[in-house]
Structure 1
Amino acid sequence: MTKHDTRTKAPLDRIAKVESFIVSVPRDVPYLGPLKDGEFINEKGYLIRKGNRSIYPASDLSVLVRITGESGEVGWGETYGIAAPEAVTAIVDNLLAPVIVGRCPSEAAVIWEDMYDLMRVRGFFGGYYVDALAGIDIAMWDLYGRRAGLSVAQLLGGRRHDTLPAYCSGLPRATLAERCDMAVDFVNKGYRAIKFAAAVSDEGIVQEMAALREAVGPDIDLMVDLHWKFEASEAIRLIRRLEPYNLYFAEAPCQPEDIEGQAKVAAGIGVPLALGEEWRTVYEVRPRLTSGTCGILQPEIGHTGITQFARIGQMAQGFHKQVIPHASISVGLFMAASLQATAALQRVPYHEYQHSIFDRNLAFTTGDMGCAKGHYTIPSGPGLGVRPADALLEHVRGDVA
């Protein structure tokens, strides 16, 4: 039975069903660009990038969550599923779905805390378990927003931005000359910021920075993703060599568990250090902020969900830090969630734009979300503001009828 909250008059809708689905979208060129010598796609469809020793799928993998209310209304979520997405769906289907049936999605933050507590004493305060929470959390916010007739940004307190500046992430071309040409093309389309990936800077990271600066001119913001490749002192020396080319920020120089190293780098360079794509909760963020590890936070909503994303944004404001959200492989649903949640924040100079993924994914969602001339358009409409299109369902493993 659908009830009403007498305080807000917003209709409540108890959760009747929770489902998860794996999505696999083929790619012509693997994520981060063509394969290098010694790199290959294994029998399970994964490759290891020698530049950062990290595993990636040859196709784009993601996990969708669908929550159906007693009214029949549906909320959609999406979470990080780049590697072994079956682990996420098992957690959603076997552990979490049965215990939240009957709950009201208007209590999404409370439900997130209750789900987190289920496995907290076993040490599962990160990884696949919290990724599963993120997908459910996004779907609950979407369902609540749709029932209330409000966007997620409005539910979070209000929309501050109708558009957000976008920085182009990655230049997936085989040679430095081709990557420079690609950067110039983006500048000509109106984008004012570009990030390159050190994991594929085969001609040298400093050489790539110098070539890009010469190609795009002095007024474009250039960033580098260092992909956790360096010891702290190495990172400081490298970033100092990049600074004369007017580096905007340096991302992820040290291994993510090396809090002391991150703090050492942040204190030893003259540009902001950007961290946080792998963080999932405020519990991971707080010790890094109190240790002075970064000037820019990069929450990835596919890891955090909306509840923790909003709390991380509030914590960043309390520490006077900027937020530049991370955008990873997805099919568009958690990108809509990220734009909605980011629209409610104050200090947001940019949002990452994974152009090789986002533009294609617009065919997989309905709504007015977009990115053009250097800016994202925040989707309008209730909840996330987007819905899965029929084209997306063709890439789902299993039945979504």
Structure 2
Amino acid sequence: MTAPVTIESIRLRQVNLPPKVVRTDAIQSFVTQETLLLTLRCSDGVEGTGYAYTIGTGGSSVMALLHDHLAPRLLGRNPLHVEAIWKDLFFHTHATAVGAITSLALACVDTALWDWRARRQDLPLWQLLGGAQSRVPVYTTEGGWLHLGADELVAQTLAAQAQGFRGAKIKVGRPHVSEDVARLSAVREAVGPGFDIMVDANQGFNRPEALRRAAAFAGLDLAWLEEPMAAEDVSGHRQLRGQTAIPVAVGESMYHLSQFREYLERGACSIVQPDVARIGGITPWIKVAHLAEGFGVPVCPHFLMELHVSLCAAVPNAAWVEYIPQLDDITTSRIRVEGGYAWPPETPGLGIAWDWPVIEKRQLVDTTLNQ
């Protein structure tokens, strides 16, 4: 009888990546992308690498949680037991869950396990997980930031339209509603009716202001209004959804399947946007997608396009991939975008080709735990 495969070592690395452009929204600026990498090596000689990120704070805390508490529990485990490992690690960190630090750490582990599993079976991740669609419509968030004026927004969005993107995201949350309306109206007039405009408030409004802004945006044919209020305000989102025809999108600031379930059960959203890093990995992300499918709700994930393109291709209700390059500095692979669609990679595993020599030069943390 063949001995089961076991996890023999865990390597943890951190690389900080500055954003290519100034990124501002209604509540914050994107300062530094702390990229957290976990590579597990198994007794079959196959490795799997997973990752997560922050936008400038908390990376060292995630690395400490992995090094001190989670990685030691992986050593000697069978990497095929993805569900068992996720549940064990989640309950081991029960006192710090549900929350971002724990979810990001879980995501590093879980995405590495799925990378190993797909590589072991010589399959692209999206095919291993179901292969529901071979391409997914793509919109861009490379521009549209809150500090930009109408002229800059128009120029950026017209450029995106000329490049073949099917939509673009514009940040909202200027001090007065009239400023947001003027910026969005200029973009809509420039791109015409056949181009989708997504707007994102980044939780910047209270209930009365969210209702006011949604009413003011009513004639602009928006694809969705994203995170209009604090993610914890489920009833506020339900109230808003009942009073506007604009689809209400939520999810990037949720960290567990149960939070999505509450929104869906209460009819408080039109679109869900799970972030594979912030929800704790591929295992819970797929569950959210299928849960949303049961409610007839599309999935349009947040950020992490290099991984989300595969997850979107895996499920039937993924409607959009968000284009915002995140890993160009430390990878040699690039997401394929043609004719307004993003195409999942055909290489085994996550489909991300890490540039290890560059990572070794730039890494701030590099530590290995062995069995």
Query: Which amino acid in the other structure matches residue 95 of structure 1?
Result: H
Give SS of 1:206's match: helix
Work out whether 1:387 is the aligned partner of 2:362: no
Amino-acid identity (%) = 28
1:91 matches 2:75: no
Corresponding residue for residue 318 of structure 2? 348
The alpha-carbon deviation at position 198 of structure 1 amounts to 1.3
| Residue 321 of structure 1, CA deviation | 0.5
**Higher RCO (C-alpha 8 Å, min separation 6):** 2
Q: Among residues 293, 316, 320, which one is paired with 1:317 in the alignment?
A: 293
Distance, in Å, in 2 between the alignment partners of 1:27 and 1:296 is 27
Within the candidate set 347, 363, 366, 1:396 is matched to: 363
Whole-Å Cα distance in 1 between the matches of residues 85 and 350 of structure 2?
19
Deviation of 1:369 after TM superposition, in Å, equals: 3.1
Aligned length: 362
Distance 2:125 2:83 in 1: 13
Greater CA deviation, 302-311 or 168-177? 168-177
Equivalent residue runs for 1:30-69 within 5 Å: 30-32=22-24, 51-52=26-27, 54=28, 56-57=30-31, 59-69=32-42
Q: Name 2:166's counterpart in structure 1.
A: 192
Shift in Å, 1:351: 1.2
Does structure 1 conserve the Cα–Cα contact (< 8 Å) formed by 2:139 and 2:167? yes
Aligned to 2:230: 255
Distance in 1 (CA, whole Å) between partners of 2:114 and 2:98 is 21
1:175 corresponds to? 149
What is the aligned-residue RMSD (CA, Å)? 2.2
- Residue deviations 1:193-244 (CA, integer Å, cap 9, x gap): 1110114688711111101101111111111101111122321221121121
Name the structure 2 match of 1:378: 344
Check whether the contact 1:379–1:385 (CA below 8 A) recurs between aligned residues.
Answer: yes
Q: Distance in 1 between matches of 2:354 and 2:229?
A: 37
Query: Which structure 2 residues correspond to residues 1-400 of structure 1 after superposition, within 5 A?
Result: 3=3, 13-27=5-19, 29-32=21-24, 51-52=26-27, 54=28, 56-57=30-31, 59-82=32-55, 83-120=57-94, 122=95, 124-156=97-129, 158-169=130-141, 170-172=143-145, 174-199=148-173, 204-304=179-279, 305-327=281-303, 335-354=305-324, 357-358=325-326, 361-362=327-328, 364-367=330-333, 369-389=335-355, 390-399=357-366
**1:263 partner SS:** helix
- Write the deviation string for residues 71-122 of structure 1: whole angstroms up to 9, x where unpaired: 33211111132222001000111000111111122211221111111122x2
Instruction: State whether residues 340 and 378 of structure 1, in contact with CA within 8 Å, keep that contact through their aligned partners in structure 2.
Output: yes
Cα separation, 1, equivalents of 2:2 and 2:278: 31
The 3-state SS of whatever aligns with 1:303 is: coil
* Deviation at residue 123 of structure 1 after TM alignment: 5.0
- Aligned-pair CA distance for 1:145: 1.1
Residue 62 of structure 1 and its aligned partner are, at CA, apart by: 1.6
Distance 1:241 1:174, change over 3 A: closer
Q: Secondary structure at the match of 1:382?
A: coil
Q: Is the 8 A contact 2:37 2:49 kept in 1?
A: yes
- Residues 174 and 393 of structure 1, relative CA distance in 2, 3 Å threshold: farther
Tell me the equivalent position of 1:46: none
Unaligned runs of 5+ in 1: 4-11, 33-48, 329-334
Post-superposition shift, 1:262?
1.2
Q: 1:42 — aligned with what? A: none
Counterpart CA distance in 2 for 1:324 and 1:115 is 27
Q: Whole-Å Cα distance in 2 between the matches of residues 17 and 23 of structure 1?
A: 20
| TM-score under structure 2 length normalisation | 0.91
Does the Cα contact within 8 Å between 2:13 and 2:365 map onto a contact in 1? yes
Shift of 1:347: 1.6
CA deviations over 1:229-285 (Å, ceiling 9, x no partner):
112232122112112111111000111111111111111111210000111221111
In terms of mean alpha carbon deviation, does 142-151 or 314-323 score higher?
Answer: 142-151
Provide the TM-score with structure 1 as the length reference: 0.84
For residue 68 of structure 1, give the secondary structure of its aligned residue in structure 2.
strand
Letter in structure 1 aligned against 2:352: V
Q: Which runs of 4+ in 1 moved over 4 A?
A: 199-203
Stretch of structure 1 that moved more, 177-186 or 237-246: 237-246
For 2:61 and 2:343, the matched residues in 1 are separated by 33
Provide closer, same or farther for how the CA distance between residues 383 and 201 of structure 1 changes in structure 2, counting only shifts above 3 A.
farther
